[in-house]
């Protein structure tokens, strides 16, 4: 109903409103008039009956006195001219019926209308009857009663006539009201409908020139006037906007032409900048490779020259050559790092490393130079310093080497002190705080921020006196900020300097460091045992004759037999017809590069030697990002960047070719050329974690490995049988990491090949590699069980 009313137009709403109001008023007045008319007609009928009853009582009084019923009947017979009268009764004083009319009328019960009942003088109104009882009085004495019984039909007929007249009047009034409402609503709705039509036209056609005629002075006239005035303002506004739009279009067109020229110029400048950046990156990568390749020969030959029986003066010359080459290499590395940071291409690794050992080892690197200068080099490490944390240990060592190296270099007398502590972070992880303080000349406060700028130093005399590029601290601060920390300095002239490093690390989570190490940059390989002898046959794959000669001399000096291949294709042919304990593979060579050659060798192993996997160490002067991943995906076991020293080379290859006793190797007797199943250096580092009163950590680690590794091997087999590459990749990755942690480098390398094949979806090629892995695993388990019993 409400929705129907809401949909009605205003003209019908106004008509309906006026009609309902008029109808309600007429109905109320008609009802009131009808009720009043009924009462009037009833009272008139009663009054008439009362008068008739009084007259009859007077006329029958004598008959009742003389007990003459016939006379009374004759008197009542005069009522024959009143046919609507139903009956007339005369009762004596005792209530007995004395006379009646008509004679056939049934008398009413005495208890209803008669003496002692309702028949006492009065009036009775029933739906179908009217009763009037009047007393018969003579000399003020009641001697009987007259009872008249009438029908209300006469009253009803009169009432019906009155109601009919009222209904006709009501209909006429409603019609008049309807006509009046129609006329009145036009006075109200016509202007509103005109406004509505105007608004619809404005809305649909956007024609703001429409106007509504104004011919009234009331509120509707004011509304029409306001509407017209609003349209006037809108029309004026649109005209102004149109003018502004045309002007703006002209300006935009002009600006667009300017912007197009500017964008074209910027795009050209961007392309030139990107081309320059690519050219710079390519230049740096090329120059790094080109410089490192001859530098490898210079440093290697200088090291070998020092051992060739020179006199003291000649040894000084060779040492000068080596120090100058190392200084040049450090400058090249700084420039490369700064270039990566500037281009946003330097990223941090995350793996577990031994924090205390790293700090102590880095400080120890400067012990000799500090002692030569007469400086005290002290380290303060609290007992609660975490043994292992998760983060980029190589970059942390790079920062510490720069800070400690600067402190030793700029301090003429006194001491250099290294303090370290950690504090927990509210949201997990920890903050490492390392302070390197010295008793050097100090730094003026006005120059303290300048030393962190690229190519800047405290003043020109520092460059003259100490040398350097001025990049070290700039790189260190950028690295610290990448570790969510910073480096600050507290110093004053004459009272030394204190550099404080803050960096965020996480709790150790079991992830081992990357297996491929950039030995020539920041990773510090352990010193090889000078008393150990390296034995085995090494395939050296190198296209540069000078580097061939230098590496051959180094390897032979270490006690190894060397076979040379000039490129990858020759290396694959040599590997197919001969057995080797180790392959040193240059990455960039003509005919076939080192990556392709490694992949071919791994395929040959799967076909010809499924039970063994020869370690392959990458040799390259390319230190750009991505080279490590490429080596790992190719199936190489390690990474050694050029230039490298004989000590670094020996430390890198020692796990595979060092001479060992059965106790040291953990299994497998054999000749001196066979690689050990377990790296003794790794086993010793695990044993070194033992604390007083605690169980042997090596025994515990071996137990954990023997519990979990067989399940992983089972998952490997199941994954290959069901062609589930993801399961194989996950199991191989876990086995690779846990085996590398125990020093089982050969088995870890085989697992790496399986992981790479699963990642590439080439499980159909992994059958031979799995057979080799199972054979290696059986030997490894036997060696670990023997080692566990011996421990």
Tell me the CATH number at 616: 3.40.50.2300
Residue 167 in domain:
no
Verify that 422 and 311 share a domain, yes or no: no
339 alpha-carbon distance from chain centroid = 33
Verify that 31 and 100 share a domain, yes or no: yes
SS3 605: helix
Angle of helix 697-721 relative to helix 680-687, nearest 10 degrees, comes to: 130
Confidence at residue 466, expressed as pLDDT on a 0 to 100 scale: 45
Angle of helix 745-759 relative to helix 646-657, nearest 10 degrees, comes to: 90
Token duo for residue 77: 């017979």
Token duo for residue 739: 């085996």
Verify that 87 and 74 share a domain, yes or no: yes
CATH number for the domain including 704?
A: 1.20.120.160
Task: Please say which residue of 110, 143, 159 terminates a domain.
Answer: 159
Phi, psi of 363, rounded to the nearest 5 degrees: -60, -40
Confidence at residue 498, expressed as pLDDT on a 0 to 100 scale: 93
CATH number for the domain including 255?
A: 1.10.287.130
Task: Please say which residue of 294, 320, 348 terminates a domain.
Answer: 348
Verify that 587 and 691 share a domain, yes or no: no
Residue 210 in domain:
no
Verify that 782 and 732 share a domain, yes or no: yes
Residue 771 in domain:
yes
The residues facing 148 across adjacent strands are 88, 132
Q: How far apart are CA 346 and CA 281, in angstroms?
A: 13
The residues facing 433 across adjacent strands are 421, 502
Token duo for residue 756: 């790479």
Owning domain of residue 470: 352-507
Verify that 65 and 107 share a domain, yes or no: yes
Angle of helix 697-721 relative to helix 725-741, nearest 10 degrees, comes to: 160
| CB-side neighbour CA atoms (13 Å) of 63 | 21
The residues facing 391 across adjacent strands are 351
Residue 200 in domain:
no
Closest CA to 299 of 278, 320, 269: 320
| Look-up of token digits 């240059």 | 586
Give the chain's domain count: 5
Confidence at residue 666, expressed as pLDDT on a 0 to 100 scale: 43
Q: How far apart are CA 370 and CA 375, in angstroms?
A: 5
**SS3 sequence, 208-254?**
CCCCCCCCCCCHHHHHHHHHHHHHHHHHHHHHHHHHHHHHHHHHHHH
Residue 179 in domain:
no
Verify that 387 and 428 share a domain, yes or no: yes
| CB-side neighbour CA atoms (13 Å) of 229 | 6
Verify that 431 and 467 share a domain, yes or no: yes
DSSP labels, 468-497? --S-HHHHHHHHHHHTT-EEEEEE-TTS-E
Task: Please say which residue of 127, 159, 191 terminates a domain.
Answer: 159
Phi, psi of 590, rounded to the nearest 5 degrees: -75, 170
Confidence at residue 277, expressed as pLDDT on a 0 to 100 scale: 67
Q: Which residues of the chain have pLDDT under 50?
A: 110, 114-119, 460-467, 511-512, 514-531, 660-674
Verify that 124 and 271 share a domain, yes or no: no
Residue 477 in domain:
yes
Residue 666 in domain:
no
Please count the other Cβ atoms lying within 10 Å of the Cβ belonging to residue 555.
Answer: 23
Confidence at residue 160, expressed as pLDDT on a 0 to 100 scale: 77
Verify that 149 and 241 share a domain, yes or no: no
pTM of the model: 0.44
Residue 547 in domain:
yes
* 113 and 89 Cβ atoms separated by less than 8 Å: yes
* 772 and 613 Cβ atoms separated by less than 8 Å: yes
CATH number for the domain including 68?
A: 3.30.450.20
Verify that 501 and 546 share a domain, yes or no: no
Confidence at residue 531, expressed as pLDDT on a 0 to 100 scale: 45
Confidence at residue 337, expressed as pLDDT on a 0 to 100 scale: 65
SS3 374: coil
* 684 and 655 Cβ atoms separated by less than 8 Å: no
Verify that 625 and 701 share a domain, yes or no: no
The residues facing 156 across adjacent strands are none
């Amino acid at each position: 109903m409400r929705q129907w009313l809401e949909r009605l137009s205003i003209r019908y709403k106004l008509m309906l409103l006026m009609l309902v109001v008029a109808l309600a008023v007429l109905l109320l007045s008609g009802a009131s008039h009808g009720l009043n008319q009924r009462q009037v007609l009833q009272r008139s009928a009663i009054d008439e009956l009362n008068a008739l009853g009084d007259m009859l009582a007077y006329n029958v009084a004598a008959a009742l006195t003389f007990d003459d019923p016939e006379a009374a009947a004759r008197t009542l017979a005069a009522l024959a001219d009143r046919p609507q009268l139903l009956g007339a009764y005369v009762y004596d004083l005792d209530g007995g019926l004395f006379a009646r009319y008509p004679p056939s009328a049934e008398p009413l019960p005495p208890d209803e209308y008669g003496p002692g009942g309702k028949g006492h003088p009065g009036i009775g109104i029933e739906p179908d009857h009217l009763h009037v009882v009047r007393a018969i009085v003579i000399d003020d004495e009641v001697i009987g009663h007259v009872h008249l019984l009438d029908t209300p039909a006469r009253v009803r007929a009169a009432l019906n006539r009155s109601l009919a007249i009222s209904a006709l009047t009501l209909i006429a009034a409603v019609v008049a009201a309807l006509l009046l409402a129609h006329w009145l609503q036009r006075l109200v709705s016509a202007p509103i409908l005109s406004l509505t039509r105007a608004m619809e036209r404005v809305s649909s056609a956007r024609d703001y020139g429409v106007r509504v005629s104004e011919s009234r002075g009331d509120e509707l006239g004011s509304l029409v006037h306001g509407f017209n005035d609003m349209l006037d303002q809108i029309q004026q506004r649109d005209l102004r906007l149109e003018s502004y739009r045309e002007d703006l279009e002209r300006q935009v067109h002009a600006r667009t032409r300017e912007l197009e020229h500017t964008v074209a110029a910027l795009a050209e400048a961007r392309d030139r900048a990107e081309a320059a950046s690519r050219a710079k990156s390519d230049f740096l990568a090329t120059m790094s490779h080109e410089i490192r390749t001859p530098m490898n020969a210079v440093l290697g030959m200088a090291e070998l020259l020092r051992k060739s029986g020179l006199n003291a003066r000649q040894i000084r010359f060779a040492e000068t050559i080596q120090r100058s080459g190392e200084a040049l290499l450090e400058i090249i590395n700084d420039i490369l790092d700064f270039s990566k940071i500037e281009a946003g291409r330097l990223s941090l690794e995350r793996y577990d490393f031994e924090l205390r050992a790293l700090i102590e080892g880095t400080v120890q690197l400067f012990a000799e130079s500090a002692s030569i200068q007469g400086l005290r080099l002290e380290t303060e490490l609290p007992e609660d310093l975490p043994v292992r944390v998760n983060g980029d240990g190589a970059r942390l060592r790079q920062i510490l080497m720069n800070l400690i190296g600067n402190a030793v270099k700029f301090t003429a007398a006194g001491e250099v002190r290294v303090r370290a502590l950690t504090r927990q972070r509210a949201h997990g992880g920890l903050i490492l705080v390392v302070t390197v303080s010295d008793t050097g000349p100090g730094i003026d406060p006005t120059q303290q921020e300048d030393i962190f700028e690229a190519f800047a130093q405290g003043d020109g005399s520092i460059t003259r006196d100490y040398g350097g590029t001025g990049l070290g601290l700039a790189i260190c601060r950028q690295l610290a900020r990448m570790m969510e920390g910073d480096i600050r300095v507290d110093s004053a002239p004459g009272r030394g300097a204190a550099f404080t490093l803050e960096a965020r690390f996480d709790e150790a989570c079991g992830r081992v460091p990357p297996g491929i190490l950039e030995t020539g940059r920041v990773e510090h390989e352990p010193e090889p045992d000078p008393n150990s002898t390296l034995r085995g046959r090494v395939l050296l794959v190198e296209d540069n004759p000078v580097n061939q000669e230098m590496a051959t001399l180094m390897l032979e000096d270490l006690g190894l037999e060397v076979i040379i291949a000039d490129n990858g294709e020759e290396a694959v042919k040599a590997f197919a017809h001969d057995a080797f304990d180790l392959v040193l593979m240059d990455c960039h060579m003509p005919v076939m590069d080192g990556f392709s050659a490694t992949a071919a060798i791994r395929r040959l192993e799967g076909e010809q030697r499924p039970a063994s996997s020869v370690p392959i160490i990458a040799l390259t002067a390319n230190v750009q990002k991505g080279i490590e991943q490429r080596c790992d995906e190719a199936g190489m076991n390690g990474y050694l960047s050029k230039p490298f020293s004989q000590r670094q080379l020996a430390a890198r290859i020692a796990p595979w070719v060092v001479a060992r006793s059965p106790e040291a190797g953990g299994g497998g007797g054999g000749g001196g050329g066979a690689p050990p199943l377990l790296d003794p250096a790794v086993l010793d580092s695990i044993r070194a974690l033992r604390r007083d009163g605690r169980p042997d950590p090596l025994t515990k680690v071996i137990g954990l490995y023997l519990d979990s590794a067989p399940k992983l091997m089972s998952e490997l087999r199941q994954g290959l049988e069901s062609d589930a590459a993801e399961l194989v990749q996950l199991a191989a990755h876990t086995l690779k990491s846990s085996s590398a942690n125990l020093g089982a480098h050969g088995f870890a390398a085989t697992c790496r090949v399986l992981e790479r094949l699963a990642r590439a979806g080439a499980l159909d090629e992994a059958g031979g590699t799995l057979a080799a892995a199972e054979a290696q695993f059986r030997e490894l388990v036997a060696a670990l069980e023997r080692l566990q019993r011996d421990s």
